[in-house]
């Protein structure tokens, strides 16, 4: 019987690598670490080739691997020093989007060899109000998502500026009101394409109609500053969220919900072990097995769950870098 391979891309404070298992997760191997001049922000995997992935590295631009994370090369033609988010097109293997600062979206149609800005994004009337808390920084596209049901339906989360949606592949954009405008993460339900989750500085939010209306779903959460949120690939009601007291990630907690965020259950054995301040920063459902989830913490630890996030086990790896900031599961 052939055993399934697992492949996870891991972006850290000052490096990026891949970890893999050839025996259904019984043992794990860590690949070489490519140093980064700045922290990893987001990772995205080609839906058509698991050995190809892109990395957004804050003030270091965009990187790409074509060999399952063994090597990473910087996209020198990327026209900005900033890259806060990155999104591989679900159907076109050479198309990738990157979100920058000041808030802008760039698109490549050749895998990242060349880039063009989508000026329609900054043409929305509300763009004049986008900004950031620190006077030395500007608004940025913190997250980019495409609908699992429609590759032309795109969402951008702006820190600070709200959620902006395109229904025509980025040719036009619309600001979506009704939620806190300090956006940290977006997620779209695979089994219910109209279900959209948003992690914001004041609470997690949910929309059931593609972002036209939003409602906070923080009832029962002890913290409000929401960093990451994601639903299971086969059940949009099964959702995980990581929260803390403030932007300094004070007193972090990790929660699980089975009813779309109406009620939450604290996951006590993750992010609150030997170091109660070790926050879960990123987590990723395994794409071809919805029972499995991977999580990375501020302290550089990797965990896996094989029961949809109810219980967790630390992976037997020792990363040579701290702060897992981005995860992407390829297999």
- The CATH number that applies at residue 165 is 2.130.10.10
What pTM, to 2 d.p., does this model score?
0.95
Question: Within a domain: residue 199?
Answer: yes
**DSSP label of 33:** P
Alpha-carbon torsion angle 184, 236, 170, 129, nearest 10: -30
User: CA-to-CA distance for 145 and 163, rounded, in angstroms?
Assistant: 11
Asked if the structure places residue 278 within a domain, the reply is yes
- In the three-class reduction of DSSP (H, G, I as helix; E, B as strand; rest coil), residue 318 is classed as coil
In a domain, 315, yes or no: yes
Upstream peptide bond of 15 is cis (omega within 30 degrees of 0): no
C-alpha distances out from residue 32 to 20, 79, 222, 223, Å: 12, 28, 39, 37
pLDDT (tens, 9 = 90+) of the chain, 331 residues, equals: 445 789 999 999 889 999 999 998 889 999 999 999 999 999 999 988 999 999 999 999 999 999 999 999 999 999 999 999 999 999 999 999 999 999 999 999 999 999 999 999 999 999 999 999 888 899 999 999 999 999 999 999 999 999 999 999 999 999 999 999 999 999 998 889 899 999 999 999 999 999 999 999 999 999 999 999 999 999 999 999 999 999 888 899 999 999 999 999 999 777 444 567 789 999 999 988 889 999 999 888 899 999 999 999 999 887 766 677 888 998 7
Q: Tokens standing for 192?
A: 């219910």
Range of the domain at 255: 6-329
Provide the domain count of the chain.
1
Q: Is residue 266 part of a domain?
A: yes
pLDDT attached to residue 46: 95
The predicted structure's pLDDT at residue 10? 96
Kindly state whether residue 1 falls inside one of the protein's structural domains.
no
Contact 184, 221 (CB under 8 A): no
- Asked whether residue 140 is assigned to any structural domain, the reply reads yes
Give me the pLDDT at residue 274, please: 54
Instruction: Report the relative pairing of strands 253-257 and 235-244 from DSSP bridges.
Output: antiparallel
Q: Given this model, what pLDDT does residue 193 score?
A: 86
Which contiguous run of DSSP H or E holds residue 154?
strand 154-159
HSE-CB of 93 using CA atoms within 13 angstroms: 6
What are the beta bridge partners of residue 53?
45, 65
Contact 9, 43 (CB under 8 A): yes
Secondary structure tally for the chain: helices H, strands E? 1, 29
User: Which pLDDT does position 275 carry in this prediction?
Assistant: 65
Q: What is the dihedral of CA 134, 187, 109, 77, to 10 degrees?
A: 30
Is residue 111 in a domain? yes
């Amino acid at each position: 019987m052939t055993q399934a391979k697992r492949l996870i891309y891991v972006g850290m404070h000052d490096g990026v690598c891949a970890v893999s298992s050839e025996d259904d997760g019984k043992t794990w191997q860590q690949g070489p670490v490519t140093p980064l001049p700045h922290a990893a922000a987001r990772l995205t995997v080609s839906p058509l080739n698991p050995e190809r992935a892109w990395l957004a590295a804050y003030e270091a631009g965009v990187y790409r691997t074509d060999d399952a994370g063994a090597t990473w090369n910087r996209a020198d033609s990327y026209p900005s020093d900033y890259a806060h988010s990155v999104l591989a097109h679900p159907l076109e293997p050479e198309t990738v989007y990157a979100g920058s600062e000041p808030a802008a979206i760039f698109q490549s149609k050749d895998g990242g060899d060349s880039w063009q800005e989508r000026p329609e994004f900054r043409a929305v009337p509300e763009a004049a109000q986008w900004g950031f808390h620190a006077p030395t920084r500007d608004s940025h596209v913190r997250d980019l998502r495409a609908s699992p049901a429609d590759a032309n339906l795109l969402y951008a989360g702006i820190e600070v500026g709200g959620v902006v949606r395109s229904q025509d592949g980025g040719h036009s954009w619309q600001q979506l009101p009704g939620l806190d405008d300090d956006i940290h993460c977006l997620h779209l339900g695979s089994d219910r394409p109209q279900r959209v989750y948003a992690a914001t500085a004041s609470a997690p939010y949910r929309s059931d109609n593609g972002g036209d209306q939003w409602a906070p779903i923080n009832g029962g959460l002890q913290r409000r500053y929401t960093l990451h949120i994601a639903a299971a690939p086969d059940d949009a009601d099964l959702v995980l969220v990581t929260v803390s007291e403030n932007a300094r990630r004070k007193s972090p907690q990790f929660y699980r919900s089975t009813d779309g965020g109406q009620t939450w259950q604290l996951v006590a054995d993750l992010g609150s072990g030997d170091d109660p301040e070790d926050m879960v920063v990123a987590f990723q459902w395994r794409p071809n097995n919805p029972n499995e989830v991977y999580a990375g913490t501020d302290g550089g630890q990797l965990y896996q769950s094989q029961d949809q996030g109810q219980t967790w086990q630390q992976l037997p790896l020792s990363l040579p870098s701290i702060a897992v900031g981005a995860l992407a599961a390829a297999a």
